[in-house]
Amino acid sequence: RKEVEQDPGPFNVPEGATVAFNCTYSNSASQSFFWYRQDCRKEPKLLMSVYSSGNEDGRFTAQLNRASQYISLLIRDSKLSDSATYLCVYCPHSSASKIIFGSGTRLSIRP
């Protein structure tokens, strides 16, 4: 079983819609979680951290559910510029030197 699993998509939604996707992880000792964004032919970049209490940054909300071992990303009022691949990321140890990426969920926002 993969350490991190994501629905590859693509999610194709109209501009202004709300879209959400999840990522499940298998290592219950995982400590730190993140969402990264990768644009086409570009390197991944940190979008936001994920905390148990939830984390909101503008139109983006990230949640962590430790009991069910998944994290989620919600995008409200989606924009054309949100089209990208969203990567679920976790660090299996609290003093992490290892960073594990999911295979990504592709999101396409249409006008």
Q: Is the dihedral of CA 55, 83, 7, 12 positive or negative?
A: positive
Contact stretch for other proteins (CB under 8 A) within 9-17, 57-65, 72-80, 98-106: 98-106
Q: Should residue 55 be labelled a site residue for other proteins when binding is judged by CB under 8 A?
A: no
> Count residues contacting other proteins (CB under 8 A)?
26
Residues near 35 by beta carbon (within 8 Å), at least 6 away in sequence: 46, 47, 48, 50, 60, 62, 71, 73, 86, 87, 88, 89
31 binds other proteins (CB under 8 A): yes
| Residue 18 found at the interface with other proteins (CB under 8 A) | no
Coil, strand or helix: which one is 110? strand
User: Does residue 102 belong to the site contacting other proteins (CB under 8 A)?
Assistant: yes
2 or 79: CB nearest other proteins: 2
Which CB atom, from 17 or from 96, has the smaller least distance to other proteins?
A: 96
Q: Which of 40, 81, 98, 111 binds other proteins (CB under 8 A)?
A: 98
The answer to whether 108 and 10 have CB atoms below 8 angstroms apart is yes
DSSP bridge pairs for 87: 36
Q: Does 66 bind other proteins (CB under 8 A)?
A: no
